[in-house]
Amino acid sequence: MKYKRSLLIVVRLIVGIGLLLFLFSKADTSKVLAILKQTDFLFIVLSIILFLLAVAIISARWKILLSAHSIDIPFHKTFSYYLVGFFFNNFLPTGVGLDIVRGVYASNNYGKKAECFASVISERMIGFLSILLLGIFSLPLFIVKNRFILFIFLGLVFLTILFIAGIFFFLKRKTLKRFNWLFKIKILSKLKNKIKRLYNALYYYKKRKLVVFQTILLSFLFQVILITMAFFIGKALLVEIPYYYYLAFIPVINIASMIPITINGIGIREGLYVFLFNLASVKSSQSILISIIYLGITMVVSLSGAVIFIFGERKTDRMV
């Protein structure tokens, strides 16, 4: 089983690097070097600051969800747990590493395992909904420029409707009862109490409308900061296009990067940068660099998470 997982990770890594090399082969390497020489590093520094601010925003968002369950984790802890999660996320195909690591850290150190993981799941769902809505509201400006944009827009609309319908279905108390037959399966029967506790912890947020509203606002703020970060990286690389291009394209790119085809979305993300920003007449060499520098900033900042993981609290040793 471990062999198959390792093989799958290697395949995803090869696919990602292959896509990246293909994109670079289509770009003019000399132009890439020329662009790098003219880079305005002030905007790169601002982008790093913005990413740290973004991590602070989602750390506060998570703390609000945890506090709703009377789990009092200090802000600096949620911030550090996020950094550790980002570090592990560098080696995994989706954001699952980020979520699992945070959930384990929080529950190992503060108890209430079901509630900790409920906060992580709720945060992920609210964040995903905010990015979907941003894409839906921003993309219509570009539908006339490319027919493929129309398909992307319709796909986002369908996904949003499906997602919201799923949430409403989940929030009905009868939902869990309808799936009681699953607990007759031997493997699941052992997890019955844990699953019910997790469901109850998630359902609890239905009564905390103010908490949900606050986290939705913070989720939108988080997405806008990430979009602005990409905009500043573009400015650093002398890309002179209006902000609304980033507002429309970055949500689509971030959603596509969640698809578990490659490690951390490598290759897929860069390909979409090239395709979408080509609509704004941005050179492929510039588009690829925006994506790589964006990823580079997140990886460099996440290295602090590695330090926290190695030298941090001993209680978290149980996770490994």
Annotate 213-244 with DSSP letters as a single string. Answer: HHHHHHHHHHHHHHHHHHHHHHHHTT----HH
Block residue for tokens 């998630």:
202
Q: Under a CB-based contact definition with an 8 Å cutoff, are residues 53 and 61 in contact?
A: no
Establish if 236 belongs to a structural domain. yes
Establish if 5 belongs to a structural domain. no
pLDDT at position 158 is 93
- State how many domains the chain has: 1
pTM of the model: 0.83
pLDDT at position 46 is 95
Averages of pLDDT over each 10 residues, the chain, 320 residues: 55 58 58 77 94 94 90 90 84 66 83 85 89 90 81 90 84 68 64 73 82 92 95 92 91 83 71 86 87 88 85 50
Give whole-number Cα distances, 24 to 17, 44, 126, 218, 284, in Å: 10, 22, 35, 36, 9
Establish if 48 belongs to a structural domain. yes
Establish if 58 belongs to a structural domain. yes
Q: Under a CB-based contact definition with an 8 Å cutoff, are residues 49 and 181 in contact?
A: no
Q: Which residues lie below 8 Å from residue 119, measured CB to CB, with a gap of 6+?
A: 62, 65, 66, 68, 69, 71, 106
How many other C-beta atoms can be found within 10 angstroms of the C-beta atom of residue 287?
Answer: 26
Which residues constitute the domain of residue 186? 12-319
Establish if 4 belongs to a structural domain. no
pLDDT at position 314 is 45
Establish if 3 belongs to a structural domain. no
Round the CA-based radius of gyration of the chain to a whole number and report it: 21
Q: Greatest CA span in the chain, whole angstroms?
A: 64
Q: Under a CB-based contact definition with an 8 Å cutoff, are residues 35 and 285 in contact?
A: yes
Establish if 65 belongs to a structural domain. yes
pLDDT at position 320 is 38
Establish if 1 belongs to a structural domain. no
